[in-house]
A and B are shown apart, each in its own frame.
With several copies, the nearest count.
Chain A
Amino acid sequence: MAIEIARPGKTSLIVQTPVMPAAGTLGFADEYRSLIDYASLGALVTNPTTIAPWRPTAGTRVVPLDAGVLAHTGLPNPGLSALVRQYRRAWAKLPIPVVLHLLGTTPAQAKRAAKLLDAVDEVAAVELGLGDDVGVDEAVALVRAAATVEKPLLVRLPFYECQELARPVAEAGADALVMTAAPRGTARDAEGGQLVSGRIYGPLIKPLVLRMVGRLRRELPADLPIIGCGGIHSPTDARDYIEAGAVAVQVDAATWAQPKMLERIARDLGGWIATRHADALLDEWHPDMEPAKAPHSRGTS
Chain B
Amino acid sequence: MRETQAIVERIKRVNRGYQRLELAVDRSLSALLPGQALLVRRISKDYAAEIWHPYLRDLWFPVDVLASNILVVEQPAREQFVPGQLLSLLGPIGKPLRFRQKLRNLLLLAYATPPTPLLMMLPPLLEQGTSLTMVTMGSARDYDCAHLPEEVEIIQASDDHSWGDMVMTLGWADQIFALVGEGPELIRFAEIMRLIRSRRSDVPANTIFGIFQRQLPCGVGACQACMLPVRPSARLQCLDGPAFDLTQLRLA
A interface residue numbers (CB < 8 A to B):
24-27, 31-32, 34-35, 47, 55-56, 58, 60-62, 64-69, 71-73, 75-76, 191-193, 201-203, 233-234, 253, 255-260, 287-288
Contact = CB atoms under 8 A, between A and B. Distances in A.
A27 B56 contact: no
Given A62-B214, A67-B53, A73-B227, 20 more contacts: A24-B223, A25-B218, A27-B222, A35-B3, A56-B234, A58-B229, A61-B225, A62-B56, A64-B56, A66-B53, A68-B52, A68-B55, A69-B55, A76-B224, A76-B234, A202-B55, A233-B50, A256-B57, A256-B219, A260-B3
Contacts of B47: 287-288
Given A62-B214, A66-B53, A193-B183, A25 B225 contact: no
Contact of B217 (A32, A62, A234, A260): A62
A256 B52 CA distance: 11
Given A64-B54, A233-B52, A257 B222 contact: no
Interface string B224-240: 11110100001000000
B167 to A, nearest CB: 32
B29 interface: no
B1 A256 contact: no
B225 A67 contact: no
Q: Label chain B's interface by main secondary structure.
A: loop
A257 B215 contact: no
Contacts of B14: none
A256 B56 contact: yes
A26 B219 CA distance: 11
Contacts of B32: none
B2 interface: yes
B85 to A, nearest CB: 17
Contacts of B223: 24-25, 27, 71, 73, 256
B65 interface: no
B220 interface: yes
A191 B221 CA distance: 22
B184 interface: yes
B110 interface: no
B178 interface: no
A71 B183 CA distance: 17
A34 B2 contact: yes
B185 interface: yes
B243 interface: no
A35 B183 contact: no
Given A35-B1, A69-B55, A233-B52, A258 B229 contact: no
A65 B55 contact: yes
Contacts of A203: 52
A71 B225 contact: yes
A96 to B, nearest CB: 16
Q: Is the interface of A mostly helix, strand, loop or mixed?
A: loop
A31 B55 CA distance: 21
Nearest to B219: A256
Contact of B90 (A65, A67, A259, A288): A259
Contacts of A31: 218, 220-222
B53 A256 contact: no
A62 B225 contact: yes
Interface in B70-124: 88, 90
B55 A73 contact: no
Contacts of A191: 183-185
Chain A to chain B: the 10 pairs with minimum beta-carbon distance, closest first: A27-B222, A31-B222, A67-B53, A56-B227, A256-B217, A67-B52, A34-B1, A31-B221, A256-B218, A69-B55
Nearest to A63: B215
A62 B57 contact: no
B141 interface: no
A269 B183 CA distance: 24
Given A192-B184, A193-B183, A257-B41, A62 B215 contact: yes
B131 to A, nearest CB: 34
B52 A71 contact: no
B55 A64 contact: yes
A27 B221 contact: yes
Contacts of B2: 34-35
Given A27-B220, A34-B2, A257 B55 contact: yes
Contacts of A75: 224
Interface string B10-41: 00000000000000000000000000000001
Contact of B218 (A58, A64, A76, A255): A255
